[in-house]
Amino acid sequence: MNTNQHLSQFYTTSTGNTRPNKRYLVTSEAEITQILKNLVTRPELITVFLKNTNNFLITALLGIDEKNTCLYIDDVKDQKKRNNILSNKTLTITTQLNGIKFLFPVNVIGKTLYKDQFAFKIGFPDYILKLQRREFYRAVPPLEHTLKRQINVEIGNINVDIADISEGGLNLVDRHNTLSIKPDTVIKSCRINLPNLGFFESDLKVHRVVYSDQDPKQQTKYIGCEYIQPGNITTSLIRRYIQKVERYNRYGNKVFN
């Protein structure tokens, strides 16, 4: 897996363009500075990805210079990796703190000394993606009981599978790249039948569109959606379905019979 594939799950993609997913985006200078201060104060190992390559390395944040809006990361012993960092110029850093994952791109300013040790000097990021643990448990429908959704688009009704479902949203699978749906699109009146439980209907807001890494021809794409004001009855029905899937995983097909 190359760097772009690793990072794609945290970005919204549409017509070949990539942009940070707004749901997780931190752009306030004050908040960015505070996050960076916390990361330096309570140091954790960081993973550094080099743009458009398969290369990454593990190192650490050493310090922060608020006045000059720059950070310092520890030098690496491997001369080839050191040269790659200096020549690549653009890095993406990921790390965790208190169970929250942080991801941000930075530009390399150069080599320097920090507290009498060699380090890389990097600029402050323009944004940080703050990725908390999933708010909702996602259930994957059993293969024997695939959930489908019919979407009404300009060319007619299209059947798509549902890869997973939670109380907060679901992932649609467009296996033949039929749907030209972009992030922020609202899919009206999504009606889904849950086996032996009934159906629910809700509008969906598209948050991300990504192509499957397993499909080299990029015909299969996943469309991540959030329910728009689903209501207590819908949420309760989805919760019951998720519990049913959990029982299925334990006891087998008789749960859905």
CA distance 133 to 74: 28
Contacts of 95 (CB under 8 A, 6+ apart): 39, 44, 45, 46, 47, 61, 101, 102
> What's the rounded mean pLDDT across residues 220-239?
87
> What's the rounded mean pLDDT across residues 219-227?
85
The confidence score (pLDDT) of residue 6 equals 46
- Check: CB of residue 203 under 8 Å from CB of residue 190: yes
The confidence score (pLDDT) of residue 83 equals 83
| pLDDT tens sequence across 20-72 | 556 678 888 999 999 998 888 876 678 888 776 666 778 888 899 999 999 99
- 110 phi/psi in degrees, rounded to 5: 155, -175
The confidence score (pLDDT) of residue 257 equals 58
Contacts of 144 (CB under 8 A, 6+ apart): 253, 256
| pLDDT tens sequence across 176-217 | 787 888 888 888 888 888 888 888 888 888 888 887 766 666
3-class state of residue 255 by DSSP: helix
CA distance 84 to 57: 11
Contacts of 172 (CB under 8 A, 6+ apart): 149, 151, 160, 161, 162, 163, 222, 223, 225
- Residue 1: which of 52, 46, 49, 54 has the closest Cα? 54
Q: Which residue has the higher pLDDT, 112 or 100?
A: 112
| DSSP code per residue over 1-63 | --HHHHHGGGEEEETTEEEE-GGGEE--HHHHHHHHHHHHHS--EEEEEETTSS-EEEEEEEE
| pLDDT tens sequence across 117-133 | 888 999 999 999 887 65
User: Is the predicted pLDDT of residue 14 greater than 50, yes or no?
Assistant: no
CATH number of 143-252: 2.40.10.220
Q: What is the pTM of this model?
A: 0.50
CATH number of 3-131: 2.30.110.10
The confidence score (pLDDT) of residue 3 equals 46
H-state helical runs in the chain = 3-7, 29-41, 79-88, 232-251
Say what percent of the chain tops pLDDT 70.
Answer: 74
Q: Which residue has the higher pLDDT, 109 or 147?
A: 109
Say what percent of the chain tops pLDDT 90.
Answer: 9
Helices and strands per DSSP (H, E), number in the chain? 4, 16
The confidence score (pLDDT) of residue 135 equals 54
- 217 phi/psi in degrees, rounded to 5: -85, 0
DSSP 168: S
- Check: CB of residue 96 under 8 Å from CB of residue 132: no
DSSP-assigned beta bridge partners for residue 100: 97
- 150: pLDDT confidence band, cut at 50, 70 and 90? low
Q: How many CB atoms lie within 10 A of CB 150?
A: 12
Give residue limits of the domains in the chain.
3-131, 143-252
